[in-house]
Amino acid sequence: MYFLYRLSLLIKNELRDYRKTFCRLYHLNYCRIKF
């Protein structure tokens, strides 16, 4: 159970970082609204 919990947190963090990087790379104005 603990492992799954940690894994889900890790995935959430990865997704958040990916979104930030995506926004930074493409400089999309709607990123602030969407994410």
Sequence ranges of the domains in the chain: 1-34
- 16 near 25, Cβ under 8 Å? no
Q: What is the pLDDT of residue 35?
A: 47
Give residue-wise pLDDT tens across range 1-35: 788 898 888 888 877 777 777 666 666 565 555 54
Cα 28 from Cα 4, distance rounded (Å): 33
Please give the model's pTM, rounded to 2 decimal places. Answer: 0.43
Q: How far is CA 6 from CA 9, 20, 32, in A?
A: 5, 21, 27
| Of the candidates 34, 5, 24, the residue with the CA atom closest to the CA atom of residue 13 | 5
Tell me the two tokens of residue 8.
């889900």
